[in-house]
Amino acid sequence: MKTFSLFAVVTVLAIGTASILLANQQNQLPSSIGAAAQTTDAAFRDGLYLGKLAAEGGAEPHAAIGRWATLRDRSSFATGYQRGYSEFLASRVAPTTDGRLAE
């Protein structure tokens, strides 16, 4: 009876560990696929580039989505534009490390 209890506990622990690992692996796949899809999407990259240029030039954010024909491309362009614009501004605002911190 003691052997059966030990076997049951080990089996439950093994199944629980396997299910946790499987769930963790499944949750990570879509985000990596989505990131890869964005970096290869021409509309997203165009928006990223133009958003960065607009932020560098000090212009107000205005995504010209009419450059792209399909709704999917327009959405992707707008997402890239917002990311490029905000990432450039965030990099300008982020504190820089200089020699004064070492003193």
Q: What is the pTM of this model?
A: 0.57
Distance of CA 37 to the CA centre of its chain: 11
pLDDT at residue 47, as a whole number: 92
**Considering only CA atoms, which of 39, 83, 38, 93 is closest in space to residue 63?**
83
Number of helical H runs and strand E runs in the chain: 3, 0
pLDDT at residue 83, as a whole number: 93
**Considering only CA atoms, which of 76, 85, 95, 78 is closest in space to residue 34?**
76
Q: Which residue has the higher pLDDT, 15 or 46?
A: 46
pLDDT at residue 103, as a whole number: 47
71-90 confidence digits (pLDDT tens): 999 999 999 999 999 998 88
Lowest mean pLDDT among 5-19, 39-53, 54-68: 5-19
Q: Could you write out the three-class secondary structure of 46-81?
A: HHHHHHHHHHHHCCCCCCCHHHCCCHHHHHHHHHHH
